A and B are shown apart, each in its own frame.
Chain A
Amino acid sequence: MHTLSINGNEQQVDVPGDMPLLWVLRDVLGMTGTKFGCGIAQCGVCTVHLDGKAVRSCVLPISSAVGHEISTIEAIGETEVGQKVQASWLEHEVVQCGYCQSGQIMSAVALLEKQPDADDAAIDAAMAGNLCRCATYTRIRAAIKSVSQA
């Protein structure tokens, strides 16, 4: 039995310690906002925050998440930066199919929390691990910049 702190709530899960957080969220807790894309941390659609840092939940064993604050797309709108980023995403009409956008938004929020005035080089560093097959990058960059330069 592992106790996880997800979006401020304590959750008990009875799963093996090496089960990745992604599948605990999705298949055990029914929190499907965090997506599966590659399973090897190369696409970023499974991005969540662990103590505010963007991490890939598809390769994060749950045993490494115990004792840390996990936050997911479902609750990111409750933070000030999260709310701004979501609003900016809609304002810039970033989304196409939308499948990667949970991860994009989680990476963007982690970036802006740490670096509120993020520039292009910082955006590249923080967002390069998030693939978008619809290739909405033009608008992702614009949406982040409208928050960081506001």
Chain B
Amino acid sequence: MNTLKNILVLLGLSLVSGGAMAAGTDTQASADALVKKGAYLAKAADCVACHTTKKGKPFAGGVEFELPFGSLFSPNITPDVDTGIGAWTDDEFVSALQEGVGRDGKHYYPAFPYTSYSLMPRDEILAIKAYLFSLPAVKQAPIENTLSFPFNQRWGMFFWNALFLDNQRYEPDSKQSAEWNRGAYLVQGPGHCGECHTPRTIFQSLDKDQALAGAPIQGWQAYNISADPLYGIGAWSVEDLTHYMAKGYASGHGFAGGPMASVVEHSLSQLTPQDQKAIAVYLKSTPAHSSGIARATTDDLSARAVVVDDLGSKIFAEACAACHRWDGEGNQSPTAKLAGLKTVNDPAAANLLGVLLNGHSNMGSPVDQRMPNFAKGYNDQELAAVSSFVLKHFGQSGGVVTPEAVAERRKVKSH
């Protein structure tokens, strides 16, 4: 039963990095230690991403989630009594995370990933609460949601939850290693990876049969991260995966752009190397789903003729080839490599357009390593043409990007 014991230790006893609280249990922990544990869990759960606006104070909320039927705004989770969660009891906080029911009995919308957080045990949730309560209170009233009927009827969530919320804690799989279980817990629970990477059913619930098989989000594509070698991350080594989590890229596999850049910066890169490895080990073991976007193959790129013969190749020559090269190898930074990426093989060019329109700056990299944002200098026809060229030149999807698709993509706000 060594495995089970290890799992218990991992789950409950020694979560915090740097050995700051290598010993002791929750009940014995000092308040400081509890706060530290909560701080780490808050990172693992990436609370800051949804509860902090670009220029706002941490955890004060106000981030907008645009849905087809209106907008949701994340609440203030600082300990301010009037506008935040300062008056909340432990039970109320636990209920929010495990059951999706707020203090006043209001049901949350599942933009708040309580169906994942539900896997977290009460003590961990309370550690997060202790951490949040240790922060300065920010008086900032929540912004009213703008959902239209019937979606503004919160009670409807009662039925949704009955169908889609298990309200169960994580159960370790004794057949697997402690490391695997730790990874599974982080991915499914606090990490809530499936919230973006798992396709949703028509009821907006996660399609568990297609777990981690990839899904669109805010105009971007959250790629298939199941263990499939062509469509998922099966061909990535554990080192590739941990490097990606720690640094934001794995050369030749991909880099974290769009919403994922923030996940890496605020959450994954903050985890201990052991936890990063646990996640990698778990991801590589998940059921493979051969769906979504396949990696591009990289044969013969350097042998292709290098000529300008249409608008797309013209723009690539003018604005892109200097960093990415005609052979897609990229000579400036590991993130400049295009060869073999899913991004150049997605016929909808979701992430390609995202990066072209928003630019890219890898976490922690010096300013010289950034990709500028080409949204203002190039029009829809030009960006469509260069995207189509990139898909054709580096990928096999046969995708062609239309100017209309670029125009649509320009409308998507990204956080």
Q: Would A and B touch once assembled, by the CB under 8 A criterion?
A: yes
Instruction: List residues of A whose CB falls within 8 A of some B CB.
Output: 18, 20, 39-42, 44, 50, 53, 55-56, 58-61, 64, 115, 121-122, 124-126, 128-129
Complex interface: chain A residues within 8 A of B372 (CB): 40, 42
B318 within 8 A of A: yes
Contact between A125 and B331 (Cβ–Cβ < 8 Å)? no
A60 to B325 CA separation, bound complex (whole angstroms): 13
Contact between B369 and A61 (Cβ–Cβ < 8 Å)? yes
Contacts known (A55-B332, A56-B322); A128 close to B368, Cβ less than 8 A: no
Complex interface: chain B residues within 8 A of A124 (CB): 307-308, 314, 317
A55 to B323 CA separation, bound complex (whole angstroms): 8
Contact between B314 and A58 (Cβ–Cβ < 8 Å)? no
A39 to B372 CA separation, bound complex (whole angstroms): 11
Contact between B317 and A128 (Cβ–Cβ < 8 Å)? yes
Using CB atoms, name the residue of chain B closest to A16.
B366
Contacts known (A18-B366, A125-B313); A41 close to B332, Cβ less than 8 A: yes
A53 to B323 CA separation, bound complex (whole angstroms): 12
Contact between A58 and B308 (Cβ–Cβ < 8 Å)? no
Contact between B306 and A122 (Cβ–Cβ < 8 Å)? yes
Contact between A129 and B321 (Cβ–Cβ < 8 Å)? yes
A26 to chain B, nearest CB (A): 14
Contact between B317 and A129 (Cβ–Cβ < 8 Å)? yes
Contact between B333 and A61 (Cβ–Cβ < 8 Å)? yes
A104 to B319 CA separation, bound complex (whole angstroms): 15
Binary contact track B301-337/A, C-beta < 8 Å → 1, others 0: 0000011110001100111011101100001110000
Complex interface: chain B residues within 8 A of A56 (CB): 322-323, 332
A91 to B254 CA separation, bound complex (whole angstroms): 47
Contact between B331 and A50 (Cβ–Cβ < 8 Å)? yes
Using CB atoms, name the residue of chain A closest to B377.
A42
Complex interface: chain B residues within 8 A of A60 (CB): 331-332
Contacts known (A18-B365, A124-B307); A42 close to B319, Cβ less than 8 A: yes
A121 to B367 CA separation, bound complex (whole angstroms): 33
Of A18, A53, A115, A128, the residue contacting B331 (CB under 8 A) is A53
B370 within 8 A of A: yes
Using CB atoms, name the residue of chain B closest to A59.
B332
B208 to chain A, nearest CB (A): 43
A61 to B334 CA separation, bound complex (whole angstroms): 10
A123 to chain B, nearest CB (A): 9
Complex interface: chain B residues within 8 A of A18 (CB): 365-366, 368-369
Contact between B332 and A128 (Cβ–Cβ < 8 Å)? no
Complex interface: chain B residues within 8 A of A126 (CB): 306, 317
A50 to B366 CA separation, bound complex (whole angstroms): 21
Contact between B368 and A59 (Cβ–Cβ < 8 Å)? yes
Complex interface: chain B residues within 8 A of A61 (CB): 332-333, 366, 368-369
B64 to chain A, nearest CB (A): 30
Contact between B322 and A121 (Cβ–Cβ < 8 Å)? no
A53 to chain B, nearest CB (A): 7
A41 to B319 CA separation, bound complex (whole angstroms): 8
Complex interface: chain A residues within 8 A of B317 (CB): 124-126, 128-129
Contact between A125 and B319 (Cβ–Cβ < 8 Å)? no
Contact between A20 and B368 (Cβ–Cβ < 8 Å)? yes
Contact between B368 and A58 (Cβ–Cβ < 8 Å)? yes
A50 to B323 CA separation, bound complex (whole angstroms): 13
Task: Show 10 residue pairs from A and B whose CB-CB distance is below 8 angstroms, ordered by the A residue.
Answer: A40-B370, A41-B332, A53-B331, A59-B332, A61-B333, A64-B331, A121-B308, A124-B314, A126-B317, A128-B308
Complex interface: chain A residues within 8 A of B370 (CB): 40
**Of B322, B332, B333, B365, most A-chain CB atoms within 10 Å:** B322
Contact between A41 and B308 (Cβ–Cβ < 8 Å)? no
Q: Which of B202-253 contact A (CB under 8 A)?
A: none
A20 to B332 CA separation, bound complex (whole angstroms): 9
B202 to chain A, nearest CB (A): 44
Complex interface: chain A residues within 8 A of B367 (CB): 39
Using CB atoms, name the residue of chain B closest to A20.
B368
A3 to chain B, nearest CB (A): 19
Contact between B333 and A59 (Cβ–Cβ < 8 Å)? yes
Q: Which of B350-397 contact A (CB under 8 A)?
A: 365-370, 372
A58 to B333 CA separation, bound complex (whole angstroms): 12
Contact between B333 and A125 (Cβ–Cβ < 8 Å)? no
B183 to chain A, nearest CB (A): 31
Contact between B306 and A128 (Cβ–Cβ < 8 Å)? no
A24 to B146 CA separation, bound complex (whole angstroms): 54
A46 to chain B, nearest CB (A): 10
A60 to B368 CA separation, bound complex (whole angstroms): 8
A61 to B336 CA separation, bound complex (whole angstroms): 12
Beyond contacts A42-B319, A44-B322, A61-B366: 4 other A-B pairs, Cβ-Cβ < 8 A, are A40-B370, A50-B331, A56-B332, A59-B323
Of B318, B325, B366, the residue contacting A128 (CB under 8 A) is B318
Using CB atoms, name the residue of chain B closest to A121.
B307
Complex interface: chain B residues within 8 A of A115 (CB): 306
A41 to B324 CA separation, bound complex (whole angstroms): 10
Complex interface: chain B residues within 8 A of A40 (CB): 368, 370, 372
